[in-house]
Amino acid sequence: MDIQINNRRLRLMVGDITEQATDAIVNAANSYLLHGGGVAGAIVRKGGMSIQFESFAKAPVPVGQAVITGAGKLKCKHVIHAVGPRMGEGDEDEKLKNATLNTLNVAVENKLNSISFCAISTGIFGYPIDRCADIMLANVIAHLSGETSLNEVVFCLYDQKAYDVFAAALKKLHP
């Protein structure tokens, strides 16, 4: 599913985020930037340990913040590590909003043209995917409506169920 916002592209797709050739992909990170499992583990397995070593130099990162590293052997040029909330820690919606906005800010600060997001915090952090879709999409739509270096934002979702949730949220937010 593709939509246009202010002559910019917002795209939803099912796929492997480590295969994206956008300027950056977004890693759903923990504060220590330790790439063990999930998206983070897949990024290091495919991109190489240089990503992990560069991440260690930038850790710890507070929840809601984002930092950028190189992408090793991945097709993208950079990885933006966004630290999302764990369910039950409190103020999770605001923290996810901040992680999304700070990721977009890091992309703009680095003059990136395109990024691929995953569904931040919906894996082992237990964040509900429907709430994630509403928050992340609303903030990306608002960002693309203003001044930005970004011309394309992709949500690369891990399965059809996640895609369907994001597609329903997008139709609601941008009919």
pTM: 0.96
pLDDT value of residue 37: 79
Query: Nearest-CA neighbor of 122 among 138, 133, 114?
Result: 133
pLDDT value of residue 63: 98
pLDDT value of residue 49: 95
pLDDT value of residue 36: 84
- For residue 60, cis peptide bond before it (omega within 30 degrees of 0): yes
Collapse the DSSP code of 132 into the 3-class scheme (helix H, G, I; strand E, B; otherwise coil) and give the result.
helix
Domain 8-173 CATH assignment equals 3.40.50.10490: no
Note whether 155 and 15 are within 8 A (CB): no
Query: Nearest-CA neighbor of 159 among 123, 135, 124?
Result: 123
Task: For residue 116, give both structure tokens.
Answer: 């691929």
Instruction: Pinpoint the alpha helices (H) of the chain.
Output: 38-47, 49-58, 92-109, 129-145, 160-173
Cα dihedral across residues 93, 94, 95, 97: positive or negative:
positive
Cα dihedral across residues 82, 84, 100, 156: positive or negative:
positive
Note whether 9 and 153 are within 8 A (CB): yes
pLDDT averaged per 10 residues in sequence order, the chain, 175 residues: 96 97 96 88 94 96 98 98 96 98 98 98 95 98 97 97 98 92
